[in-house]
Amino acid sequence: MTAPIAVYVHIPFCTIKCGYCDFNAYAGMDALKDAYAAALLAEARASAPLLAGRTIASVGFGGGTPGEVPPAHIAGVISALRELAPFAPGAEITLEVNPGTTSPARLARLRQAGVTRLSIGAQSFHPEELASLDRIHSPQATIATFRAARRLGFPSLNLDLIYGLPGQPLDRWLESLRCALELEPDHLSLYALTIEEGTLLARRIRDGDVPPPDPDLAADMYEAAADVLEEAGFEQYELSNWARPGHQSRHNRTYWTDGDYLALGAGAHGYLSGERYENLAHPRAYIEAVRAAPPAQPRPALARVTTPAPPAQVADWLALRLRLLEGFDPAEFEERWGFPLERAVGPVLEDCAAAGLLERAPRVRLTRRGTLLHGEVAARFLSHLQRHWTERLTA
């Protein structure tokens, strides 16, 4: 039997689309939900050949807001996957929900469907910050949703928070963090606000209606949060993620450790045997493509498939592995790629270590300063590999 596989399921529906969001998400399409659920089941069943001989280690429902579709739709996908491949013992099934639009009764049905890990989009515990993000819930709704989920026995609960908001002072960010800690979550995901082109927030900043975020202040917020969470007993295991013992996101670790993952749903991205692919993005186009495809055709809504050039593959591997604070053993790199790490990117390792961004032994990993400059380190790896790949082949 080959290595275990993860499955990502994209649910593109939202009550509203927040001004900062550039995900493949759509508001006002509730009428499509039943047809979309049918298409998901059809795509899952058509994926049987891709799951042959595999064990499903995790399932992740993302979006959009998966918690806002009928729980029966979620249960149907989980049931279909169980029919197609065995689930690993203790397999993780994660689902994202928004506070305020997820009732206790809905949460109970999700738990009955087999969801083991709930990720709650709190984002902030300050009403004015939530309003600036176009979030429609209140801090009280976050607290109520979290407590209901805890009563219902979800084995692992995560809270998402965003920092670096325009006009957000450091003390208010830390107050949100303290409010989150008072709920005693098992996991926290902290994301710096990113201004994505084409979003409503980007337009507001361009028009001068909203001040741009301060990157230096965001870095201070990140470092302050790391100190607070360490003192509270959380381990930072990835650039944006902290967990209590036993509560790391196993599904997301698949992404960071070069594991295979099957993609289901509109705009979903998958990775199988070194090949990256994505589905048609718009829900209507996705539904129509699945309906028109032969019943047994795997990936019936495929939009594109790419096999990155070797330098990009190696750079991607390095960038993703360095998102994990544990880093990697150089022997893992050589086993994966067939040549030593030093031969591939030795000069970059030396420069980054000299700049205090990397440790090189016994494992290669980012320093605390390096975690703030992960993107720059990754770009250096890619640039070096692109310039020297031919030399590496002939060395």
User: Does residue 90 surpass a pLDDT of 70?
Assistant: yes
Domains, in order of start, for the chain: 5-255 (3.20.20.70), 310-394 (1.10.10.920)
Predicted confidence (pLDDT) at residue 393 exceeds the cutoff of 80: no
Q: Is the pLDDT of residue 154 over 90?
A: yes
Q: Residue 194 corresponds to which tokens in the numbers above?
A: 């990113």
Dihedral in degrees, nearest 10, Cα atoms 85, 90, 363, 394: 0
Question: Helices 310-321 and 330-337: crossing angle, nearest 10°?
Answer: 150
193 has pLDDT over 90? yes
* 117-133 pLDDT per residue, tens: 999 999 999 999 999 99
Nearest 5°: the CA angle 41, 43, 47 is: 115
Pick the range with the lowest mean pLDDT from 15-29, 287-301, 342-356: 15-29
Task: Enter the pTM of the model.
Answer: 0.95
Predicted local confidence at residue 16, as pLDDT: 86
pLDDT single digits (tens) 205-264: 899 998 988 999 999 999 999 999 999 999 999 999 999 999 999 999 999 999 999 999
Mean pLDDT across the stretch 302-326?
97
Looking at residues 133-140, what average pLDDT do you find?
A: 93
For residue 176, the model assigns a pLDDT of 98
Alpha carbons 280 and 263: distance in angstroms, whole number = 11
Task: Map the chain to HEC letters.
Answer: CCCCEEEEEEECEECCCCCCCCCCCEECCHHHHHHHHHHHHHHHHHCHHHHCCCCEEEEEEEECCHHHCCHHHHHHHHHHHHHHCCEEEEEEEEEEECCCCCCHHHHHHHHHHCCCEEEEEEECCCHHHHHHCCCCCCHHHHHHHHHHHHHCCCCEEEEEEEECCCCCCHHHHHHHHHHHHHCCCCEEEEEECCCCCCCHHHHHHHCCCCCCCCHHHHHHHHHHHHHHHHHCCCEEEECCEEECCCCCCHHHHHHHCCCCEEEECCCCEEEECCEEEEECCCHHHHHHHHHHCCCCCCCCCEEEEECCCHHHHHHHHHHHHCCECCCECHHHHHHHHCCCHHHHHHHHHHHHHHCCCEECCCCEEECHHHHCCHHHHHHHHHHHHHHHHHHHHHC
How would residue 197 be classed by pLDDT, with cut points 50, 70 and 90?
Answer: confident
Are 1 and 54 spatial neighbours (Cβ–Cβ below 8 Å)? yes
pLDDT at 2: 75
Contact 254, 91 (CB under 8 A): no
Residue whose tokens read 């990397």: 358
Distances (CA, A) of 343 to 64, 361, 362: 42, 16, 17
CB 328 within 8 A of CB 335: no
- Residue percentage of the chain with pLDDT more than 90: 87
Rounded distance between C-alpha atoms, residue 235 and residue 241, angstroms? 9
Q: Per DSSP, what are the bridge partners of residue 118? A: 95, 157
The phi and psi torsions of 199 (rounded to 5 degrees) equal: -90, 160
Counting Cα atoms < 13 Å in the Cβ hemisphere of 327 gives 18
Q: pLDDT at position 155, please? A: 98
Task: Give the integer Cα–Cα distance in Å for 254 and 299.
Answer: 20
